[in-house]
Structure 1
Amino acid sequence: MRSITIEGLNRPVSQLIMGSDFFRLNNEDEVHSILEEYTAIGGNTIDTAFIYCGGESEQAIGKWLEATGSRERMNIFTKGAHHDQNGPRVTSEAIRSDLMTSLERLRTDYVDLYALHRDDPQVPVGPIIEALNEQLEAGTIRAFGASNWTHERIQEAADYAKQHQLTGFSFSSPNLSLAKANEPFWHGCVSADSKTLQWHEANQFPLLSWSAQARGFFTGRYTPEIRDNADLVRVFYSDDNWQRLRRAEQLAHEKGVSTIQIALAYVLNQPFPACALIGPRNGQEMRSCHEGAQLKLTSQEIAWLDLETEVR
């Protein structure tokens, strides 16, 4: 499997990152089976978060790491400082508290990739960068980044870090998919737009995309007439996205692959380091992701799929 490098890590990061928002303590056999399938195709990075499944996701991963002795060959990517019922909590106290709990659940003394799960634009970037650098110096994290931050805020954090001789963000994790979001899937979420992609290309800044396959939009299960999934209708149903789907279907037919594999390849063939968070639940879905990750798309094909040009 192809991989990217992220500043601060001594291991590459596989382009396919295993999502774990269905990992629980009562489906241990499924968790172990899917992680074995994932590592068999060359995957080495697992995504989780402090809030996933009420903490069970991190606990399930910790049990698997301990049972299989896999800690030193896997990158663990977790997130914290998500808002709660009282509102935003992007503070040094929340960062430290969530991280310490995550480490305990994961049965490890450090995580490879740590991200702030949401932003709070009312909080200056300075104290946030300083809090993350404290954890970096303590050895509890190897690299840190931002999930659902705009590229402008990430640049602001980079400028602060440079001015104060600190380490800045090493990656960003917004939504990026061939289907463009009409509105945020969840409150506070960020999707990469054209300006974001230009910034990532100019800075060669790694992007780890969630919902890279648009939550099943490209599986063939949906048409403009099928409207039983209210969230999918709200976020992805648009004339432009149906045209993108038709173009993906056409290109898939020409290459002898599936449409959803073209959608995955769109994310992984950007002109900057990019990974996709995936959530296969069985071997067939895992193999589909693996095959899609091996596809090469040209810049002309990427532009055509994204409706930027009529020729390819």
Structure 2
Amino acid sequence: MNYFTIPGLDKPCSQLMMGTDYYKPELLDTVGVLLDEYIALGGNSLDSAHIYAGGKSEETIGLWMESRGNRSEVIVLTKGAHHNASGPRVNKQAIDEELAISLQRLRTDYVDLYALHRDDPNVPVGPIIEALNEHIEAGRVRAIGVSNWTHQRIQEANDYAEANGLVGFTFSSPNLSLAKANEPFWAGCVSADSADCAWHREKQFPLLSWSSQARGFFTGSFTPEVRDNADLVRVFYSDANWERYRRAEQLGKERGVSTIQIALAYVLNQPFPSCALIGPKNKAELESCHDATRIQLSEEELNWLDLSAELKAI
């Protein structure tokens, strides 16, 4: 397993982070074994959120950590302040209320990584940073970050933090995958584009990618003619992405690995600290992801895979 550092944490974070959005206590026997296997491979970080499975994801993680007695060994990322039916909720009240509930569900008194699940560009960054710093000072949160924020808003928030002697964001979790999104998968979601990646490279700012494998686009289960998954068609079907698929398939054959492993290696070999949130359902899928961490790609290969050279020439 490969690792990277996130400012604020006292331990390195594994480059594969286990996604838990479908976890429920009634699945504990099954997902608990999968988590044990993940830990045995060197993984140490779990991704959850206040809204995942109606809160049952956090409950399941809490039960698993309690049963294994391994809280201090695990890096827990959870997210809050997601919008609801009434609209955006990026405010101190939502953060305070949801973090308290998340801690109770997780059966812990702190989370290693806490991220705002969505942004509300109409809200000034100052009060948000101040609210999150209260939780850092109280020991309830080790490091703060964001999911689905633009790099411009992150920079604005960190400039405010620096100017006011506060702790800023130290990680971001947008979508980043070899297949480039045509449009947001869900309202308010952000996919890292070339400008975002350039900013992450300049700042060496950690990026934790959700849908790192483009929700199965590279599994071989889909073709331009297979259009029964409306969301996948809407978000990832394009001539450019099918060319990226073809190139990943070609390089995979040359390396003796699968197409989807090349796609995952693309995320893990970025020229800045990167992490892939993965959602294996069984041991074989987990081991496939782990094997992908051993694949090294050069910057030239990265640019060839994602068509960077061709797009810059246009």
Alignment TM class, shorter chain as reference: over 0.9
Matches within 5 A, 1:248-287: 248-287=248-287
User: Which digits, 9 at most, give the CA deviation of each residue in 1:8-47, with x for residues without a partner?
Assistant: 0001000000000110021111121110111111000000
CA distance in 2, matches of 1:84, 1:273: 32
Matches within 5 A, 1:163-312: 163-309=163-309
Tell me the SS of whatever aligns to 1:228: coil
User: Which digits, 9 at most, give the CA deviation of each residue in 1:213-256, with x for residues without a partner?
Assistant: 00000000000000000000000000000000000000000000
Q: How much does 1:85 deviate?
A: 1.0
CA distance in 1, matches of 2:119, 2:281: 30
Tell me the SS of whatever aligns to 1:27: helix
Tell me the SS of whatever aligns to 1:208: strand
CA distance in 2, matches of 1:308, 1:205: 21
CA distance in 2, matches of 1:152, 1:177: 20
Report the identity percentage: 66
Aligned AA for 1:8?
G
Residue 52 of structure 2 is matched in structure 1 by 52
Tell me the SS of whatever aligns to 1:225: coil
Residue 35 of structure 1 is matched in structure 2 by 35
Tell me the SS of whatever aligns to 1:115: strand
CA distance in 1, matches of 2:213, 2:37: 19
Q: How much does 1:163 deviate?
A: 0.8
Tell me the SS of whatever aligns to 1:38: helix
CA distance in 2, matches of 1:59, 1:293: 29
User: Which digits, 9 at most, give the CA deviation of each residue in 1:42-76, with x for residues without a partner?
Assistant: 00000000000000000000000000001010000
CA distance in 2, matches of 1:159, 1:292: 36
What are structure 2's unaligned runs of at least 5 residues?
A: none
CA distance in 1, matches of 2:113, 2:215: 24
CA distance in 1, matches of 2:254, 2:287: 20
CA distance in 1, matches of 2:190, 2:299: 24
CA distance in 2, matches of 1:230, 1:34: 30
Tell me the SS of whatever aligns to 1:309: helix
Residue 145 of structure 1 is matched in structure 2 by 145
| 2:126 counterpart of 1:126 | yes
Aligned AA for 1:301?
E
CA distance in 2, matches of 1:61, 1:259: 31
Residue 63 of structure 2 is matched in structure 1 by 63
Residue 94 of structure 1 is matched in structure 2 by 94
Divergent runs of 4+, >4 A: none
CA distance in 2, matches of 1:37, 1:187: 34
CA distance in 1, matches of 2:34, 2:51: 21
CA distance in 2, matches of 1:162, 1:238: 41
Aligned AA for 1:269?
N
What are structure 1's unaligned runs of at least 5 residues?
A: none
Residue 3 of structure 2 is matched in structure 1 by 3
Aligned AA for 1:220?
G
User: Which digits, 9 at most, give the CA deviation of each residue in 1:84-114, with x for residues without a partner?
Assistant: 1111000001101000000000000000000
Aligned AA for 1:67?
S
Aligned AA for 2:235?
V
CA distance in 2, matches of 1:131, 1:35: 32
User: Which digits, 9 at most, give the CA deviation of each residue in 1:250-270, with x for residues without a partner?
Assistant: 000000000000000000000
Number of equivalences: 310
User: Which digits, 9 at most, give the CA deviation of each residue in 1:264-289, with x for residues without a partner?
Assistant: 00000000000000000101000000
Tell me the SS of whatever aligns to 2:114: strand
Q: How much does 1:309 deviate?
A: 3.0
Aligned AA for 2:264?
L
